[in-house]
Amino acid sequence: MIYAGIDIGSITAKAALIKDNTLVDTLIIRTGYNHLDAGKAVLQTLLEKNNLTRNDVKAIVSTGYGRNSIDFADKALTEIICHAAGAHFISPGIRGVIDVGGQDSKAILINENGQMDNFAMNDKCAAGTGRFLEVMANALDVQLDQLGEYSLKADKPAKISSICTVFAESEVISMIANQEKRENIIAGIHDSAAARVAILASKTHLAAPVMMTGGVAKNQGMRKALEARLGFDLIVGHLAQENGAIGAAVLASRL
């Protein structure tokens, strides 16, 4: 029997299928304006790709910011519990998850049974979220997925002192005006965001082994900055971005 998880994030929609406790396949598409349409499309395309139909799917769990829009899901669960379940599914020894998403960043403490013991999320502020990085990428005229590459070439990372995204952007613009090296500014931005996320990890007493999930995990510069702040290495799987959807599929199998 197939179980499906659908994660509707602010930028991308992800789906995952599992069968007999094994991952079948995953898919990522752009969310667009309509959450329900994105949910239908991502699941349908993934099923077709694997020569399956909706009738093969026993249960569906939706998650992410658009979770409540997915009216055909059997249950809507938050991305926090899904990321915990996904990380535990991929690597049962994991004791913590750091997920930097578009809207929220979170640190999740996981026990040996894969259940979350505690979690902390960013306060009412975009600093330390994917949105912060997106704003900065725009200001620096760089593609979001190039940020990591640039920052690894930094020789003297800049210091961004403002916590507020809007003020940090002004600071970045002043640095551009002063012709600071783009690579150094980007490294500074990563450190500023990592500092915010590290506070969440500290609040929840995260200790290695910790997995980094979410789209931002693909950004090597951000990952390096976080590791420097945390004092331990992070585990990043090749399905970091799909981890929430995988967790949703795992939880669907337990409904």
Partner 1 sequence: MSDDQKNNLKIKSAKKMRDLMTTYYLEALTARQNNKKIAWITSGGPVEPLLAMDIIPVYPENHAAMIGASKMGEDLCVKAENMGYSSDLCSYARADISCAVVKGGPLGGLPEPDMLICCNNICGTVLKWYEVQARYYNVPLFILDTPVCHTGYSPAIAKYVETQLGEYIAFLEKICKAPFDYDKMQQVGDLSYDAQMLWQKILETAAHKPSPMSAFDAFFFLALIVTLRGTRIAVDFYQELLEEMTQRINQGIGVVPDEQHRLLWDNLPIWPKLKWLSDKFSSHNACLVADTYTSAWCGTIKYVDKSQFLKSIAEAYTRIYLNIGVDQMADQVMDMIDFYDAKGLIMHSNRSCKPYSFGQMDIMNIVSKKKGIPVLMIEADMVDPRSFSTSQIETRIDAFMEMIKQRS
The footprint of partner 1 (CB under 8 A) covers 65, 77-81, 103-104, 115-119, 121, 123-124
Is residue 109 a contact partner of residue 119, using CB atoms and an 8 Å limit? yes
Tokens linked to 19: 């069968």
Tokens linked to 122: 């960013």
> 44 vs 69, which CB is nearer to partner 1?
69
**Smallest separation (angstroms) from partner 1 to the CB of 244:** 12
**Smallest separation (angstroms) from partner 1 to the CB of 118:** 7
Q: CA 172 to CA 52: how far, in whole Å? A: 49
**Smallest separation (angstroms) from partner 1 to the CB of 172:** 25
Cβ-count burial 207-240 (b if 16+ within 10 Å, e if not): eeebbbbbbbbbbebbbbbbbebbeeebbbbebb
**Smallest separation (angstroms) from partner 1 to the CB of 96:** 14
**Smallest separation (angstroms) from partner 1 to the CB of 175:** 29
**Smallest separation (angstroms) from partner 1 to the CB of 235:** 22
CA angle 134, 123, 81 (to 5 degrees): 85
> 105 vs 184, which CB is nearer to partner 1?
105
SS (H, E, C) 165-217: HHHHHHHHHHHHHCCCCHHHHHHHHHHHHHHHHHHHHHHCCCCCCEEEECHHH
Q: CA 227 to CA 229: how far, in whole Å? A: 5
Candidates 97, 70, 85, 89; CA nearest to 8 is 70
Q: What is the DSSP letter of 18?
A: E
